[in-house]
Amino acid sequence: MPLELVANVTLAGLLTGLVYGLMALGLSVIFGVVKVVNFAHGEMMTIAMYAAVVLFAAFGLDPFVALVPVAAAFFVFGYILQAGLINPFINRPEHTQFMLVLAVAIIMVNGLLMAFGPDARNVPVDYALESFSIGPLLLDTVRVYAALAAVAIAGGLFLFFKFTPSGRAIRACADNYLGAKVVGLNVKKYYALTFGLGSACVGAAGCLMVLLVDVTPLLGPGYTLLAFIIVIVGGLGSMPGALLGGVLIGISEALAGLFFSPSAKSMFSFALLILVLLFRPQGLLGKRP
Amino acid sequence: MIRKQQPIRTYDAVHATNVGRRRFIAGLGASAAIVSSGSLMRPARAQATLNVGVLLPTSGTQAFIGQSCKLGADIAPAVLQGLGYGLPIRLMHADTETNVDVARSRAERLINEGAHVLVGPFDSGAASAIAQVCEQKGVPFIINIAAAPQLTEQGYKFTFRNFPTSVDLVRNGLALMRDLFQATGTAPRTAVFMHVNDTFGQANAKAIGAILPTFNFLPFKVLETISYDPAAKDLSVEVAKAKATNADFLMFVCRLNDAILVRREMVKQRWNPMGMIGPGNPGMYEAQFFAALGKLSEYCISNVPWYNPKAALTKAIEPAFVKAYPKDKLMFHALNVGFTVEALMVAADAYKRAKATDGRRLAEAIRQTNLTSRMMLGGPIKFNAKGQVEGIQSACIQNLNMRPTVVLPAASAEAKPVFPVPGYKKA
């Protein structure tokens, strides 16, 4: 196997993995703070992908530009979804939360089918088929831009949680619910804010992902599953873990396709998941409960 | 029109209408006999209308091709009326959703709702599932497009196919490759073989593995075989592997969506082999391939069964097609429309001769089919003992000037083949 080929495929996996990581980051943030498992995560990303398609078709808006209004709209949507629908279920048994979010996911898939039909759509930007080379490495321009954007957005989120008062308040809510209430934090508001931020993340990820794959309404469940694998591998609730998990899954998928059968891609993701669950159940960067 | 079933009376209902015990038992026995004979499900006597269940993948990964086939199905009743088949046909559409299990359940539902014959489904996996249902129910099944050989190798009595098997497709396709190399004075020495790993792709791969070693006149050897998932969203790794072989050309058994993905990825990875040749598969001549790729669709080659633009049936179909779909051109849908209309024509012809909608009589009439006027290239539509039409020919189709163009055989060529193809930048 030529080294050049292995390097190219690994790099492509790494770049795709960073976008996966951004997608999973939203799930991880929501679970880490609100403790609700968002089973509609992939479906929300699919909606964002369609939003990018529509904005490109209607206004010629490049997905890298469209991700700003889409992320903003998703923030509002996530905020309202949490405050209006999910919050009443926060203290109810987990299975009712699962069913609620699953119902939302099913509504989303069928809504997309009704609105857009089953056909695949993409965003044919001018640079979609461009690539550039660095020595023996051949880099897909779109993938590089998408990965850089994913890293920038994830970095912005880290900074928000680390240095802003709202970010610190959210972390306080996540660390100690009772303590946060005792010191007078409006936990409900911060839960909604967190859900909004997680949704904005997935909205941005959708705009980037539509540059890498064509979108159909039925993509959602697959990406929900992928996001779960990533956050479990990286550590549920850990933000760096989500990015690391995304990168690991991206690279493992790429190398499985190269060294074994392309059909073995998913198999390797699940194998990685099982290994992590066996030897480090809290995930690679997760904290022990 | 869907036949209404008589409501089954309950015990209470029997008493309420003052029916005696003996009469009730006699009635029950008669009802059981009727139900077990399946007569409630299918009318036994001749009707004025033939109900044809049309199963196609109008959603899912094969949606575009399924919809292309449906264009043919929708115009067929009027076209066949015009051709003198006389008796009316009612189409009952069902979407297989590019899913074998859905295809099976939709086939059962169509039969339960009164379909006398099923047509479809542009997929070997779905065809296999539908064939099993039709055998159980005794309803004829006319395959429009599906190539897996086993479909007509299992002794089915109600399954008929007017489409080449993978073996025939590949044999014709490889022979046309020889003609292509001769016509262009080329002799590629190596190929990389990529194929979709669904039922159709695996059947074609098996056929290529069996036939290629016996075709000593072909100058190339296959360096590597790369299979991939038909629902794959990203084929960059597969294309990178194929490129790394440095093969002279790509032999490519694909569907539509994956063909688009691979073509885009080849451009991204700056891979310019001598050409892409499909040895007997869909994908690269479809309307959506041109629409999605624009100029990048140019020069792709497909060795596939094709239509005869001069045939009387084509001349009957084309105006109906243009009238029904003024924005479309028949040439982009010719294979899908042609085989679908022909499948419906077989059903109409059998119905005309059988003068009945009973499954066995229809199947017997289909077995006796001998239609010489057809749209697709090849001999008459005549089923052998296995329910297979033989002698369907292939043509070498190259995408030139943004349309599928016949380049071989020379007798029916519209243009000369281009091989090796120019690089993508020049296209």
Mean pLDDT of A155-173: 92
Phi-psi domain of B401 (left: phi exceeds 0; alpha: psi -120 through 50; beta: other): left
Whole-number pLDDT of residue B22: 53
Mean pLDDT of B203-216: 92
What is the rounded distance in angstroms from the CA atom of residue B59 to the CA atom of residue B57?
5
For B401-418, the pLDDT digits (tens) are 999 999 988 888 899 999
- Residue B267 touches chain A, beta carbons under 8 Å: yes
Residue of B nearest to A260 (CA): B226
Instruction: Pick B234's closest partner by Cβ from A8, A128, A213.
Output: A213
Q: Minimal CA–CA distance to B281: which of B264, B297, B258, B263? A: B258
Please provide the average confidence, as pLDDT, over all residues in chain B.
87
Sorting pLDDT into bands at 50, 70 and 90, what band is A121? confident
Which amino acid would we find at residue B313? L
Cβ–Cβ of A263/B64 closer than 8 Å? no
- Could you tell me what percent of chain B has a pLDDT over 90? 73
Judging contacts by C-beta atoms under 8 Å, the chain B residues touching residue A213 are: 233-234
For A271-284, the pLDDT digits (tens) are 889 999 999 998 99
Kindly state the DSSP code that residue B412 receives in the 8-state scheme.
G
pTM for the whole thing? 0.80
Judging contacts by C-beta atoms under 8 Å, the chain B residues touching residue A131 are: 268-270
ipTM (interface pTM):
0.83
- Residue A139 touches chain B, beta carbons under 8 Å: no
Residue of B nearest to A140 (CA): B268
Residue of A nearest to B67 (CA): A119
Residue of B nearest to A118 (CA): B59
Cβ–Cβ of B296/A129 closer than 8 Å? yes
Judging contacts by C-beta atoms under 8 Å, the chain A residues touching residue B257 are: 120, 214
What is the rounded distance in angstroms from the CA atom of residue B260 to the CA atom of residue A158?
38
For B103-135, the pLDDT digits (tens) are 999 999 999 999 999 999 999 999 999 999 999
Mean pLDDT of A215-225: 90
Distance from CA of A176 to the nearest CA of B (A): 41
Judging contacts by C-beta atoms under 8 Å, the chain B residues touching residue A140 are: 236, 268
Interface of B with A in 124-163 (CB under 8 A): none
Helix (H), strand (E) at residue B363: helix B359-367
Pair A42, A221: CB distance under 8 Å: yes
Cβ–Cβ of B241/A2 closer than 8 Å? no
Per the listing, tokens 């911060």 go with A190
Distance from CA of A48 to the nearest CA of B (A): 17
Q: Which of A42-51, A228-237, B240-249 has the lowest mean pLDDT?
A: A228-237
Interface of A with B in 3-32 (CB under 8 A): 4-5, 8-9, 12-13, 16
Instruction: Pick A257's closest partner by Cβ from B237, B257, B269.
Output: B237
For A5-46, the pLDDT digits (tens) are 999 999 999 999 999 999 999 999 888 888 888 899 999 999
Does the structure show a pLDDT above 70 at A120? Answer: yes
Q: How are the residues of chain A apportioned to helix, strand and coil, as percentages rounded to the nearest 5?
A: 75, 5, 20
For B170-181, the pLDDT digits (tens) are 999 999 999 999
Judging contacts by C-beta atoms under 8 Å, the chain A residues touching residue B264 are: 128-129
SS3 B117: strand
Residue of A nearest to B268 (CA): A129
Sorting pLDDT into bands at 50, 70 and 90, what band is B5? very low
Pair B60, A118: CB distance under 8 Å: yes
- Give, rounded to a whole angstrom, the gap between the first and last alpha carbons of chain A: 43
Judging contacts by C-beta atoms under 8 Å, the chain A residues touching residue B197 are: 263
What is the rounded distance in angstroms from the CA atom of residue B236 to the CA atom of residue B234?
6
